[in-house]
Amino acid sequence: MAEENEQRYDPAAIEPKWQRRWAADPAIYAAEAADCGKPKYYVLEMLPYPSGQLHMGHVRNYSIGDALARHQWMRGYNVLHPMGWDAFGLPAENAALKNNTPPRKWTLANIAAMKRQMERLGLGYDWATEVTTCLPEYYRWNQWFFLRMYEKDLVYRKKSKVNWCPECATVLANEQVIDGCCWRHETTLVEQRDLVQWFFRITAYAQELLDGLEKLDGWPEKVRTMQRNWIGRSEGTEVDFFLAEKIDEGTGNREQGIGTRPKGSSSESGVGEAGPSTALRSAQDDRVVRIRVFTTRVDTIFGATSVQLAPQHALVAEFTAANAELMDQVDAMIDQQKRAREAGDLGAIEKHGVATGRFAVNPYNGQRLPIWIANYILADYGTGAIMSVPAHDERDFEFATKYGLPILQVIKPTDPDVSKDLPFCSEEGVLVNSSEYDGLSCDDAQRQMQEAAVSGGFGEAKVTFRLKDWGVSRQRYWGTPIPMIHCEKDGLVQVPDDQLPVVLPAQIEITQQGGSPLSRVPDFVNVSCPKCGGAAKRETDTMDTFVDSSWYFYRYTDAKNDNAPFDPQTARYWFPIDQYIGGVEHAILHLIYSRFWTKVMRDLGLIANDEPARRLFTQGMVIKDGAKMSKSKGNVISPDEMVGRYGADATRMYALFAAPPDRDLDWQEDGVAGVSRFLARVWRLATKYAAVVRTANESQSKTQNGGAALRLLRKLHQTIAKITLDFEGRWHFNTCVAAIMELVNDLQAADAQLAAGEVSAPVVRELLRSLVLLLAPFAPYLAAELWEELGEEGSVLRAPWPQSDPELAKEDELEIPVQINGKLVEVVRVAADADAKAIEAAALAGEKVQARTAGKTVVKVIVVPGKLVNLVVK
């Protein structure tokens, strides 16, 4: 009994022992210098927000990254595997309000708690490179970058409509508004406010951010698609329509424009004609009021039957000035848009418009089109004005039908089988009813009409992007102070580099009043101007916390540098990141900002890479009983509880085993218990034969082994080949763990032969040593313990990853499925090296094949060697 007790797998004893040893050996997970002679490998998991408690999603994310890091160490790479803390942000302020704890104290305590959890999980991080973004030694470089970007005109300040989360009491970037709500407060509607804000000019890189996606073939296609859509490039033409009357500035009297009331003009509300010459004359006339529209389909412009303005368009104020009724209608529309925007439902807004009684002239043919104001035209998209072509646009068709506007077809489908119904929105067509452009393809017409606009002075080619500049001002305390000073005499003045960092004041009262909390700290606000020395005021907004995470992974390469954000030489060695791992929820936010930041740093001459990460992996979520884990549902599984009950190895291995890493994982405690029992079997097997292994040595003969030894070696080498291949990119870690389980089953099934000495000591040694090496990325504690148990010295992490011997891995026999007329009938066994003739013979001799072909003719036999036989039978 006593002996059996001694042989029990006890993670509560093994794991803390190794945790202590690893903590005492900082070199174990440390990256080496660039001149170490090894190839480099930078594996990175997204850094967490220090909430104080890891959740299972973290455990899964880090288990994937840690398995990869350990595997790469064993493959002989110089591995950088760092961890840090995305430590600024609102929860620290909320906690300060609730518990009266200073944000810094709360945050640092949470970091300590989570670091303990990570260490208990046995995650192999190089803590010497730890980055904590809320500390001045880090955020001073946010300020330094801000100033460099300001000098390059990549930072600017402007008054604009901004997204305001009433819960956060701060501004949000467009990327942080998800379905009309705050990214942190999923049920809080975001409001629109007019504020003076700081912006990063991310749009300066819009085209490059888009083009770069083509080269990121190591990123999931879905992430690239999301970014492509977010950037939203569209190519088209900007065209000036002309207001069909002039505004006399002196008196406010309006008189009719040149030639805008042609002979034979049908009616006030219809579409009139004036002829191209008048349009060209208008283009030359400076007194004419232009209405600029953006269109991707200038080829359809002869089919325009109205011009529509956003309710906020500059001309609308002009129109409503003398028309109270119209003004009320416009106000109602603005209100409607605001509510729809807040509900995140702009697309679904009920389309509604009002005719202004005014007209615009189409510059291509001089036609007079009624001007409408419509609630679905957005002031901040394009030019805030569109031409409406009902025959060739779904939305315009719907609108024209609702209000009885003319529908004029100008594109005829080239394919005669295409429905003649309107709207016809494809570009597979030729122009009709379009004067001299008739008969041109849509492509050709777009080109020629664009040229006509340029030469006629009423338009130009235009590329537009959906991407907007990144608003980074936050009216919060717990963030990086913006290093700018407002001087009455000098205007905006940069904080000089030698006065960085601008440190957050420690003593501050957090309240939920509006405005930045920093503005209520006179010691912080009042400074002398660096330029004139006079009294001046500091900027009191802080930076969006996504600034912190935009470049943190560069800091890991040189985390203690006091003179620069990092050493460019060191960053050049480590970048790009070889494998980045994190949640798909960052596909747009963090992953677009950090790509932008990388391009800016490259243009500052700090780095040589264009993109931060060569490969990106987005793991699935951890759920419970089909639902997201959440406190309100009471279905949260605590990592500490799992580790306490089953050990860190079983918890981590289950997180990898229970689902393919890219899919959602439904956490089942039974499954963790199962993995724990499996590890106990490994433990018993290895300890039982450890003495045999210790006495064996490599020079002993491996011959004189019976069938059992060969079978086990074949299984082992097949398992090595499979897992090695998976680490190279397929990442089906769930099937890797399953393969190890199969190997252990086979070893246990051969227990009698092993016990009887039918397998020689060197083979037992190879089997068990390799088993431990294969386990090491997934169950590091048990692997370390058994490595020692088998008599090995040094860390298992520095032991070479086992090599698969293809000869040993080769099967004696293969299973070949046999189909008759494409349907599987039988599986036959053939020698692994059988040729096509032998495979055909074996297939035809199959028992079921014989029964099915009796009395029939085999017309044809198709043999795919090693894979399949198909018989065509009549």
Binding site residues, Zn ion, CB under 5 A: 165, 167-168, 182, 184-185, 487, 489-490, 529, 531-532
The count of other CB atoms within 10 Å of the CB of residue 697 is 10
Which one, 86 or 611, has the nearer CB to Zn ion?
Answer: 86
Q: Closer to Zn ion by CB, 34 or 529: give it.
A: 529
DSSP 587-620: TTHHHHHHHHHHHHHHHTTS-S-SSSBSBEEEEP
Q: Closest distance between Zn ion and the C-beta of residue 587, in Å? A: 20
Least distance to Zn ion, CB of residue 167, Å: 4
Min separation Cβ 511 and Zn ion, Å: 17
Query: What tokens were used for 506?
Result: 């420690």
Question: Which of 190/696 has CB closer to Zn ion?
Answer: 190
Tracing tokens 């000089």 back to the chain, one arrives at: 496
Residue closer to Zn ion by CB (options 490, 758) is 490
Closer Cβ to Zn ion, 528 or 630, answer by number: 528
Closer residue to Zn ion (CB): 490 or 792: 490
Give the separation between CA 47 and CA 50, rounded to whole angstroms.
9
Q: Which helix (H) or strand (E) holds 59?
A: helix 56-74
Q: Minimum CB separation from Zn ion for residue 174, in Å?
A: 14
Tell me the pairing of strands 411-413 and 858-864.
unpaired
Strands 616-619 and 579-583, sheet pairing: parallel
- Paired with 613 in beta bridges are 577
The b/e string for 190-207 (b: 16+ C-beta within 10 A; e otherwise) is beeeeeebbbbbbbbbbe
- Three-state SS letters, 111-133: HHHHHHHHHHCCCCCCHHHCEEC
Half-sphere CA count of 417, side-chain side, radius 13 A: 0
3-state secondary structure of 70: helix
Q: Smallest Cα–Cα separation from 240: which of 457, 388, 446?
A: 457
Question: Considering beta carbons, is residue 169 or 659 the nearer one to Zn ion?
Answer: 169
As measured in angstroms, the least distance from the Cβ of 528 to Zn ion is: 8
Give 353 or 483: the residue with its C-beta nearer to Zn ion.
483
Q: CB–CB of 723/739 below 8 Å?
A: yes
Nearer Cβ to Zn ion, position 320 or 475? 475
Interstrand relation of 470-471 and 191-200 (parallel, antiparallel or unpaired) = antiparallel
Minimal distance, residue 571 CB to Zn ion, in Å: 34
Cβ proximity to Zn ion: between 393 and 541 the closer is: 541
- Helix, strand, coil % in the chain, rounded to nearest 5: 45, 20, 35
Coil/strand/helix, residue 344: coil
- Residue 542 Cβ, how far from Zn ion at the closest point, in Å? 15
Question: Which is nearest to 593 in space by CA: 49, 4, 199?
Answer: 199
CB 530 within 8 A of CB 484: no
Return the number of the residue (147 or 487) whose C-beta is nearest Zn ion: 487
Q: Shortest approach of Zn ion to residue 98 CB, angstroms?
A: 16
**φ, ψ at 543 (rounded to 5°):** -85, 145
Give the contacts of 541 (CB within 8 A, at least 6 positions apart).
197, 198, 473, 474, 475, 482, 516, 518
CB of 499 to Zn ion, least distance (A): 14
Q: Closest separation between CB of residue 190 and Zn ion, Å? A: 8
Q: In the bound complex, what is the minimum distance in angstroms from residue 509's beta carbon to Zn ion?
A: 21
Query: At 671, which helix (H) or strand (E)?
Result: helix 669-695
What whole-number distance in Å separates Cα of residue 760 and Cα of residue 609?
53
How far apart are CB 168 and Zn ion at their closest, in Å?
3
Backbone angles phi, psi at 484, to 5 degrees: -130, 155
Q: Give the number of residues written for the chain.
A: 874
Q: Which two tokens stand for residue 456?
A: 């006629």
Closer residue to Zn ion in complex, CB, 185/468: 185
- 9 vs 150 by CB, closer to Zn ion: 150
| Shortest separation between residue 185's beta carbon and Zn ion, angstroms | 4
